[in-house]
Structure 1
Amino acid sequence: MAIMGVAAKCEFPAIFNFGDSNSDTGGLSASFNEVSPPHGETFFSKPMGRMCDGRLLIDFIAESLGLPYLTAYLDSLGDGFQHGANFATAGSTIRPQNVTLFDGGVSPFSLNIQMSQFNQFKSRSDALYFKENAVKGNVPAPEDFSKAFYTFDIGQNDLGAGFRATSDDQVRASIPNILAGLSQAIQFLYGQGARTFWIHNTGPIGCLPISVIYYPLKPQNIDKYGCVYTQNDVAQEYNRQLKVMVYQLRNQLPLAALTYVDVYSAKFYLITHANEQGFVDPLKFCCGFGKDGYNAWCGTSTYVNGSTVYDVCDKASMYVSWDGTHYSEAANRWIANDIFNGQLSEPPLPLIQACQRSP
């Protein structure tokens, strides 16, 4: 699909991001246990709150827009919030889950909580901005909220939690309810003055190494690429309904520029053409150990036949998956290059022109 006419680059003074571990830049670390080494080793040379060896898609978005990396809203020792805030937290879902503490599965910071946090952030920022100059430089100007870039990368954990607890058909049936929560959040932000939205669909969850390792029906329902195709089918149905939802919101929110971003296609192409793109087997992962019933997640160790196993690969840039669940920095960079030009977006506008409204 051809990119729509040439237009000036959008000037976004800030980014506000909502999501899960795919875009968490420190929310989990600030709230519960700090992310441990070797996370962050490739780019930051130390853990930086990210479930990755380096940068995430949200980091590449910030770079492309000429803005600093986002500080997690929950991180009181961050670098300031003048250019936005990140409300994403690892394990977050759109629908509230029955949890009180992060347990390695889902997070208490569901999307409705992230909306509440944004509301408080905006209210307090407006008050602080006019209070004293020393504080003014740490928060966005009041007018920046309507000019900012609002990004969403959430929903994968809603499907994942459903796969763990119910059947594929039940997860499929829950999609309208999940998306109702996302639609409500976007409408809430629009009411707060937000105008530019960049909405990622969900990736091929059935191709995550962790999905394959714990899938109980192997080799049944495994496709020729080694992915759980039944889970990918549900993810694709979620994305189809998400795209319809975005179209509906365009009619309801006439001043909004809403971009639906087909991250699924970018990730699935990378996974199914990994060798051609210079990566190793996409079902292998760099950090952690998962084989023959033994598992040591990234940053931990386990005993196998009397020996301690703490496995980290020598070259993370060769892997699509960093830890079996999250993508490596190299994969994130590849995906960013594939989606930022707009060819996988609807409307087909590049990232730097996302403020344009669909005709």
Structure 2
Amino acid sequence: MHFLTAAKSMLCLSSLLLLVVPCPLGQAAGGKLLEHCGFTSIYCFGDSTFDSGNALAEFPGGPMGRFPYGVTIHRATGRFSDGYTIIDCVAEAAGVPPLNPYLKRDVEHSKGANFAVGGVGLLSKEARAKWHVRLPFSNSSVDIQLKWFDRHLNQAYRNQTARRERVDSSLLVLGGAGNDYANIDLKFSSLPRVDQMKRIMPDLLATTEAYVKKLITEYGARQRRIQDIVEHWAVFE
């Protein structure tokens, strides 16, 4: 599994988005820009930046289930967007269909799954209590999403070898710290918000590092260097 993390690979993700996002879904300039990287599936964790319908599955009456959300694609899918999201464009560039939300019933996940949930953060429930972070409506933070990922692999693949083979050809995108910053309850400290954000940052970085280590040690994830991907992009220049 090749992964992009909010803390360690933002340069790679930012460069990727500059190439992919301006292209309408299904019409990426120069073809599918990441297809040469050999990704057969994508798994995504995070918040509303990536969510394709999990928050709507948790809260069916949510506003993301109706216009103006989804207005440019003529249907509200649960994405916190007027159409598709960043991860949909990444999937298109890799030759993978838009990711179905994990919590939606009766959809297939043969090319990956989207575990992201709008409104969540990176910090665990215990860490949120420590820093007085109150998420707006969902508690399905990334640590819970990783448990869903584990359940998905165990249900979909018969043994550890099959699971690791699947993981080996997949791209994993991890993000979601924005809500941890945005939802610090200011009444518990006299410090300005920016100072409170500075204090919470080490825990956020440590949490991200722990997630990445878990993906490496338990699932066999391996990191592809930025240069490896850039060399593939050169084909389309």
Question: Same fold, TM exceeding 0.5?
Answer: yes
Cα offset, 1:115, TM superposition: 1.0
DSSP-derived class of the 1:159 partner = helix
Give the one of 142, 146, 151 matched to 1:120.
Answer: 151
Letter in 1 for 2:36: K
Cα offset, 1:350, TM superposition: 3.5
The structure showing larger relative contact order (alpha-carbon pairs under 8 Å, at least 6 residues apart) is 2
- Whether 2:42 is the aligned partner of 1:19: answer no
- Whether 2:196 is the aligned partner of 1:170: answer yes
Contact residue 148 and residue 194 of structure 1 kept, 8 A: no
Cα offset, 1:41, TM superposition: 1.2
Quote the residue 2:85 is aligned against. Answer: 56
Quote the residue 1:247 is aligned against. Answer: none
Quote the residue 1:41 is aligned against. Answer: 71
Cα offset, 1:95, TM superposition: 0.5
Letter in 2 for 1:150: L
- Whether 2:61 is the aligned partner of 1:31: answer no
Give distance in 2, aligned partners of 1:352 and 1:24. 27
Quote the residue 1:96 is aligned against. Answer: 124
Counterparts in 2 of 1:143-154, with a 5 A limit?
A: 143-154=165-176
Give distance in 1, aligned partners of 2:225 and 2:82. 31
Contact residue 93 and residue 106 of structure 1 kept, 8 A: no
Give distance in 1, aligned partners of 2:163 and 2:214. 20
Cα offset, 1:107, TM superposition: 2.2
DSSP-derived class of the 1:16 partner = strand
Counterparts in 2 of 1:157-196, with a 5 A limit?
A: 157-162=179-184, 167-195=193-221
Cα offset, 1:88, TM superposition: 0.3
Cα offset, 1:352, TM superposition: 5.5
Contact residue 135 and residue 183 of structure 2 kept, 8 A: no
Distance change >3 Å, CA 50–CA 39, structure 1 → 2: same
Contact residue 46 and residue 116 of structure 2 kept, 8 A: yes
Identity level (%): 25
What is the count of residue pairs matched by the alignment?
Answer: 187
Give distance in 2, aligned partners of 1:185 and 1:25. 22
Indicate the structure (1 or 2) with the bigger Cα radius of gyration.
1
Give distance in 1, aligned partners of 2:183 and 2:175. 16
Cα offset, 1:50, TM superposition: 0.3
Give distance in 2, aligned partners of 1:46 and 1:93. 27
Contact residue 150 and residue 194 of structure 1 kept, 8 A: no
Give distance in 1, aligned partners of 2:75 and 2:105. 19
Give distance in 2, aligned partners of 1:16 and 1:25. 12
Give distance in 2, aligned partners of 1:56 and 1:351. 25
DSSP-derived class of the 1:257 partner = coil
Contact residue 93 and residue 107 of structure 1 kept, 8 A: no
Cα offset, 1:161, TM superposition: 1.2
Give distance in 2, aligned partners of 1:106 and 1:168. 23
Unaligned runs of 5+ in 1: 129-139, 196-254, 260-346, 354-359
DSSP-derived class of the 2:173 partner = strand
Cα RMSD (Å) of the superposition?
3.0
Quote the residue 1:325 is aligned against. Answer: none
Tell me which protein shows more helix as a share of its residues: 2
- Whether 2:114 is the aligned partner of 1:86: answer yes
- Whether 2:137 is the aligned partner of 1:111: answer no
Unaligned runs of 5+ in 2: 1-10, 16-34
Cα offset, 1:96, TM superposition: 2.4
Quote the residue 1:256 is aligned against. Answer: 223
Give distance in 2, aligned partners of 1:40 and 1:194. 36
